[in-house]
Amino acid sequence: MNYKLWFWIVNIFTAFLRFLFIGQAGLTVDEAHYWVYAKFLSLSYFDHPPLIAYLIKLSTLVFGNSEFGARFPAVVIFFIASFIFYLCVKKLYNERTAFFAVLLLNVLPVFSFLGSVISIPDSPLALFWILSFFVFIKIIETKNRNLWYLFGVSVGFAMLSKYNAVMLPAGAVLFLLLSPTHRFWFKEKRFWFSFLIAFALFIPVIVWNIENNFASFGFQLRHGFGSELPKLSLTFFARALGAQAGYISPPIFLVFLAAAYFCIKEAFVKKDRTALLIFCFSFPTLILFNAVALFNEILPHWPAMGYLILSIYAAHITLKFWDKRWFRNYTKIAWGFTICVLILAPLHIMYKIIPIEKFLPQAQAQKIKHGIPESERIDVTNDLFGWKEVGGEIRRRLKEYPPKSKPFLFTHKSYLASQLAFAVPEQRIFCLSSKIDAYDIWQRDLSSLKNKNAIFICSDFFYFDPKEYGGAFKFYSDVQEFPVYRNGVKVKNFFFVECRDFSPSNLDPKFSAGLLGGKKNLSAQLLKFDKAVFKFINAKIKCVPLDFYASLFSFCDSKNFTLSFYIILILSIILLWKNRRNDFWTNLALMACVLAVSSVITHFLKHYFERPRPLSALGEENVNFFYEKIFKHSFPSGHTQSAFAMCAFMYMTVKKYWYWYIILAFAMGFERIYAGSHYPSDVFFGALIGSLTAYTMVKIFKKYSSDINLN
């Protein structure tokens, strides 16, 4: 069987089906929210990093503000990701397993629908997760050091997709730690440089968070780990596993459990490298989020990337046990059930073919709220419909107002605001919510709305009485209902309330962006963060061994004897004499030049910036210091510059003791903060100056002096 040919047939055919479907139903809540992202292009966003916004913006520029335009990136991304996934499995196993794994990917609901039809951050995350995994496989297979650059770029774009991508470098490090034959990569500078590349690509997200009071980082930490002290809850855990089984498909989820067991067994008992690779890039994510589920509710798609890589092993064991009749029959039933669900879901979305009321108890089926039967309220597909009708109603109401006195539109939920924004893309939708969300970022200043009239809009699912805004408006009209029908049955109610004379100053602060705080100046926020980290290290981390360590070096520094410098210098001379005796004096002279040049740069910067030391800026009563009392010329740290200059030089000269250089250099930087002598930024830039000077000068000498041997 030509598996490669059949892969392309399946990949092209399924992509064609998805293109046929994506314009047939309204956007989900999340998709509409990310579409609004594209209207407010930024370095990052309250909920997620920015890549999904850029993709949707690019697509809608081509295809317009339509469901097809918003979802086009998801289909294309899944098409490309499937090809890379096929290549991954082919390298790990063979073409037959690769084809079967792609089939499995197209069967599992979490991948065949959630990530391939709906445009969410998980779509680009899956692409770059698979790409990173593929590049890592190539690195292990070919030992091509330059591929680390591509790995860093791929991880960086994954981190621009979703914060979960932080588990990618964790997976790479875990594999190198667990595989003795590959630990040599820790000595390779390109390996570490790949992390710098990923970090550099992620800097826009960090900058945005600094300017916005770390709103996104804080939100995700609270969202993921909760805002209260954790309490063990088996209910949360069982609910999370059940939801994950639903996203995977319950009968196939049992195969994944078996795959997890056999993967661990082969990785650690049989020492199988392929199983270990899959383990390292899947289990950390699965373990992390399911551990969180023991204490806090999680969304079922959070650990999806773990299942993505584990699906490779699930395909492998399915083929491995295919000869067993009972397993073959079970697999056919499990796949048949899942494929039926996949077919029914889009058909129900388009044609409403499942009579949900027949699956409910009679009392619950007859329950009516806001004129909507319970069977229609729990049908989540109804949320995809009615938005065009509501958009038409909004336009009709706005036409009744003179052009210069048109009211602004607002609601109380970000979910509704995003759906309404997509329904009337030519209008701005405001969200006066009691919950901090992305709209607080986009509408910090409401002064332009002062004295304006407004139309409040909500639905039966998210009902809210606008009179709770109190004196923010001087008048509220009666509630006006707008019903939405699907196949002749009322499935949704929207409610309109006219509000007059808006006064932002009278708005309860809980409904404004005040709780989030104003946008901050980047440099001011960096300095604030710098001081916060200093206070944490200098005041919060206290123990007797560290006090002894800091006091010893501080005492010596107070006597103008830089003990730390001489320790590293003497160790460097000993190692050079022991390992590079033939060119000892040449290397020693070069190290002296490195120290001299980096020290001159540091001395110049100290006098140029004249930054006060922590003792001067914060006061002696607010700084834990030992013997050394210095008040001027804090930036950058000369001690750290010297330590990193020598250690970086030694790293490039006598590599076999590389870990000691790292320990000594970082210990020096930590001591300067712990002893109250420098801020973290002083230490960081001191380390940067020392390292770059050593690297540059050694490279220059290697290139232009044939008499110097530094290899």
- Predicted confidence (pLDDT) per residue in 96-140, tens digit: 999 999 999 999 999 988 778 999 999 999 999 999 999 999 999
In a domain, 488, yes or no: yes
Judge whether 678 and 637 are in contact, CB under 8 Å: yes
Q: Which residue has the tokens 């039809």?
A: 117
Residue 289: CA count within 13 A, CB half-sphere: 24
Q: At 414, which amino acid appears?
A: S
Which one, of 26, 18, 140, 129, lies nearest residue 84 by Cα?
129
**Same-domain pairing of 106 and 41:** yes
Helix residue spans in 108-188 (DSSP H): 109, 122-142, 147-159, 167-178
Distance CA 505, CA 75 (A): 46
In a domain, 542, yes or no: yes
Q: At 296, which amino acid appears?
A: N
Which one, of 58, 62, 31, lies nearest residue 47 by Cα?
31
Write down which residue in 343, 365, 400 finishes a domain: 343
**Same-domain pairing of 617 and 479:** no
Structure confidence by residue, pLDDT tens digits, 272-329:
999 999 999 999 999 999 999 888 888 888 999 999 999 999 999 999 999 999 999 9
Judge whether 118 and 30 are in contact, CB under 8 Å: yes
DSSP 8-state class, residue 446: -
**Same-domain pairing of 496 and 542:** no
**Same-domain pairing of 423 and 452:** yes
In a domain, 709, yes or no: no
In a domain, 550, yes or no: yes
Distance CA 80, CA 1 (A): 23
226 pLDDT tier (thresholds 50, 70, 90): low
By residue range, what is the domain housing residue 408?
Answer: 382-515
Structure confidence by residue, pLDDT tens digits, 56-106:
999 999 999 999 999 999 999 999 999 999 999 999 999 999 999 999 999
**pTM score > 0.75 for this model?**
yes
**Same-domain pairing of 511 and 556:** no
**Same-domain pairing of 21 and 88:** yes
228 pLDDT tier (thresholds 50, 70, 90): low
Map residue 146 onto helix, strand or coil. Answer: coil
Q: Provide the sign of the torsion angle of the four alpha carbons 84, 88, 89, 94, taken in this order.
A: positive
In a domain, 377, yes or no: no
Map residue 533 onto helix, strand or coil. Answer: helix
Q: Is 89 exposed, middle or buried (0-12, 13-18, 19+ CB in 10 A)?
A: buried
Distance CA 576, CA 582 (A): 10
Neighbours of 340 (CB within 10 A): 10
Judge whether 113 and 75 are in contact, CB under 8 Å: no
Please, which residues have CB within 8 angstroms of residue 254's CB and are 6 or more apart in sequence? 334
Judge whether 652 and 710 are in contact, CB under 8 Å: yes
In a domain, 524, yes or no: no
- Report the percent of the chain where pLDDT is more than 90: 54
Map residue 676 onto helix, strand or coil. Answer: coil
What DSSP line would sit under 363-388, residue for residue? HHHT-EETTEEHHHHS-GGGGGSSHH
Tokens representing residue 163 in the block: 């914060």
| CATH code of the domain in which 688 resides | 1.20.144
Judge whether 310 and 274 are in contact, CB under 8 Å: no
**Same-domain pairing of 39 and 142:** yes
710 pLDDT tier (thresholds 50, 70, 90): very low
In a domain, 256, yes or no: yes
Q: Which residue has the tokens 């860093």?
A: 152
Lowest mean pLDDT among 55-64, 232-241, 393-402, 475-484: 232-241
Judge whether 421 and 397 are in contact, CB under 8 Å: no
Distance CA 10, CA 5 (A): 9
Q: Is the pLDDT of residue 32 over 90?
A: yes
**Same-domain pairing of 278 and 393:** no
Q: What is the mean pLDDT of the chain?
A: 89
Map residue 669 onto helix, strand or coil. Answer: helix
**Same-domain pairing of 535 and 501:** no
227 pLDDT tier (thresholds 50, 70, 90): low
Judge whether 690 and 641 are in contact, CB under 8 Å: yes
Q: Provide the sign of the torsion angle of the four alpha carbons 124, 128, 130, 131, taken in this order.
A: positive
Distance CA 163, CA 159 (A): 6
Q: What are phi and psi of 265, to 5 degrees?
A: -60, -45
**Same-domain pairing of 208 and 300:** yes
Query: What total number of domains does the chain contain?
Result: 3
In a domain, 678, yes or no: yes
Higher pLDDT, 512 or 277: 277
Q: At 568, which amino acid appears?
A: I
Please, which residues have CB within 8 angstroms of residue 703's CB and are 6 or more apart in sequence? none
**Same-domain pairing of 272 and 125:** yes
Q: Is the pLDDT of residue 150 over 60?
A: yes
Distance CA 645, CA 640 (A): 8
1 pLDDT tier (thresholds 50, 70, 90): confident
Average pLDDT over residues 445-467: 92
**Same-domain pairing of 492 and 597:** no
Judge whether 430 and 417 are in contact, CB under 8 Å: yes
